[in-house]
Structures are given as C-alpha cells and as structure tokens.
A and B are shown apart, each in its own frame.
Chain A
Amino acid sequence: GDSVTQTEGLVTLTKGLPVMLNCTYQTTYSPFLFWYVQHLNEAPKLLLKSSTDNKRTEHQGFYATLHKSSSSFHLQKSSVQLSDSALYFCALRPTNYGNEKITFGAGTKLTIKP
C-alpha cells in the first residue's frame, strides 16, 4: 500500500540555522507530494506541494524538490525562525483515477530556540 516515512520525530535547532526534514514515500502510482504545517492548537495547513519531478517548489522561505528516482520530497529552509516551531507532515496522494485521499507521515516536531 501507499506510505510516507518521516525519519525524524523531533528536531531542535537554534534560530538562523538551516534545516532539512526528511520525507520518503512508496506508491505504485504517480505521486503528488505535500508538506503540511501545524502550529500548536491549530489545524494542519498546506505549506507546499508538487507532482513535478526534479522541480523545486517554494513557499514562505521553505522549499522542496520531488525526486521520483529516490522517492523523496525533503523540506528545507536556509535560516529558521522562532515562528517556524511547529509540527510538519509530509503527505502523499497517488494520482490514480478517482483517488483524492491523502496519506500522511508520522510528522516531525520542529522546535527553534533563540
């Protein structure tokens, strides 16, 4: 079946440093990948998405590139801020006909210290 793996459960960084959150996936169909961010006591919100191989997509200083050859969609930012502290989910929607449901990874909690 379809699955998403996020290897880091917790990441703690000092403000201003770069970050990369790992995401790999498995599906037999062509994939659509997403990153969602969830701040404390809020609903998940879409951060960025992509279905195009080897094309970087960016939003709010975060960026990710879908690599179908390695089944990866890692999230990066060059300089984290205190406001980036949140839970980050990688998610997959296989683009088989009629499928709209998304499979989420377990999430990575990112904590930024001053």
Chain B
Amino acid sequence: EAAVTQSPRNKVTVTGGNVTLSCRQTNSHNYMYWYRQDTGHGLRLIHYSYGAGNLQIGDVPDGYKATRTTQEDFFLLLELASPSQTSLYFCASSDSNSDYTFGSGTRLLVI
C-alpha cells in the first residue's frame, strides 16, 4: 500500500542542537512537502520538492534546510534548533493526478 513514513515519531532536543527529520514515500510521487502544524496557524509549508535534487522554499523556511536525496526520501534539517521550532511536523507527497498523502507526523520538542 502506498504510504508516507516519517521518523522519528517523537524527538526531544536542546536549544542549539542538530535535528534531522526523515520522510520516505512509496507512492512514486514527484512532489514532497514539509509542513509544521501549530495551534492557530494550521499547517504551514516549510520546504517542498519536485524531485530528487530539487528544493523549493515554502512560506516559513527560516531556520530550516531540506534535502531530497532520492525520489522516495525527503529530509528536514534543523541545524541550530530553537524553542520556536517546537511543533508537529508533517511530511506529504503528491502528484499532478493525485491528492496529498500525509505521514503520521513527528512531534519535536526543543528545550
């Protein structure tokens, strides 16, 4: 079954720490996205990609890097984590003829 898998499910890090969130999709979709979800803000787009090696800047990119290493894998990097990045992160994939498929989310706490 086509799916989007995120890891880890939960992560705690200290301010200034280095965090990598992983996302793998088996949908053969070209597009992948990283969103953060915060109460009162909905889901906000951080970065997205059209394919391996491609990266597009989303609406709230500050403090985040991303890399699409393969068609399947999309990583979100926080190189100097801050408490303001405490959030629930969702990865999603899509294609021109399909709806979004979301992963189960990664809950990140920066202390």
A and B interact: yes
**B42/A105 in contact, CB under 8 A:** yes
A4-B41 Cα distance, complex, nearest whole Å = 11
A89-B40 Cα distance, complex, nearest whole Å = 11
- B4 to chain A minimum Cβ distance, whole angstroms, is 8
Contact of A101 among B45, B95, B105 (CB under 8 A): B45
Known: A49-B99, A100-B31, A100-B96. A44 touches B43 (CB 8 A): yes
* Residue of B whose beta carbon sits closest to that of A44: B102
With an 8 A cutoff between CB atoms, is A73 at the interface? no
Interface residues of B, Cβ cutoff 8 Å to A: 31, 33, 35, 40-45, 48, 58-59, 90, 94-96, 99-100, 102-105
Cβ–Cβ < 8 Å partners of A4 in chain B: 42
A42-B90 Cα distance, complex, nearest whole Å = 11
**B42/A89 in contact, CB under 8 A:** yes
Could you list some 15 contacts between A and B, CB below 8 A?
A42-B104, A43-B90, A43-B102, A43-B103, A43-B104, A43-B105, A44-B90, A44-B100, A45-B102, A46-B99, A101-B31, A101-B45, A102-B100, A103-B45, A104-B35
* Residue of B whose beta carbon sits closest to that of A108: B42
